[in-house]
Homo-oligomer: A and B are copies of this chain.
Amino acid sequence: MAQNIYDDADFFRRYSQIARQTQGLAGAPEWPTLESLLPSMAGARVLDLGCGFGWFSRWAVGAGAGSVVGVDLSERMLARARSETTDSRITYLHADLDNIEFERANFDLAFSSLTLHYVRGLSALFDKVHGALRSGGRLVFSAEHPILLAPSSPDWRSFGTAGDVVWPLNRYLEEGPRAVDWLGSSVEKQHRTVATYLNSLIRTGFTIRHVEEWGPSLEQVRERPEWAVERNRPYFLLVAAQRS
């Protein structure tokens, strides 16, 4: 079972205040790129893995999805998602992605935003998602990029006379749990390489359609100059895959 930090009251309070939770998708700078990887929502049957407060689930029905099943491990997250959702096309379910079983179904899209780096049994989950999709259905997800998650001391450093800012990468090839300090708590995430994400999908029967190593675009940096440093390494891994 994945760690459930989101049901810790203090962590939850702090988490609820970050931009991507107060502003929803508009507070997620990678959202335009992630959106560009999505298939048409018109009438789509959608699975939202790690739905959190339901931002994507509500966006999906707003964009025309026929039905959305949002799944999360956190009861607190689901309680708020339910309280903010009136659309009967959305169903929220409490489940651990490391133990979930889908009824063999015909989803058109499985979506997951910043959740898979908590999942311990990634191959098992990909296998279940594959079974839950119709032939030709898509899996589109974002996760923290392995370069972000690997290091023993994940903070920018500067070097030498030129003052080059660098990301102190190490332990990249050593897959496994990482304890990350976030919002004043120690959060356990699972580090796996880009290759492992992709090969797990391929072995399961997915075809890779697009891979994005996301950092802010030059245009985003012009609007937010303090993000320039973020172009030194990717922040998120975005993948679009298709069930053959």
A-side residues, CB < 8 A to B, are 147, 151-153, 157, 159-160, 162, 164-174, 193-195, 198-199, 202, 207-213, 215, 231-234
Contacts and interface: CB of A to CB of B under 8 A. Distances in A.
A164 B198 CA distance: 29
A81 to B, nearest CB: 31
Given A153-B160, A164-B170, A195 B207 contact: no
Contacts of A210: 199, 202
Chain A binding surface SS class: mixed
Given A159-B157, A194-B211, A211-B194, A169 B171 contact: no
Q: What is the count of identical protomers in the complex? A: 2
A160 B168 CA distance: 12
Contacts of A199: 210-211
3 residue pairs, one from A and one from B, having the closest CB atoms: A166-B168, A170-B232, A167-B169
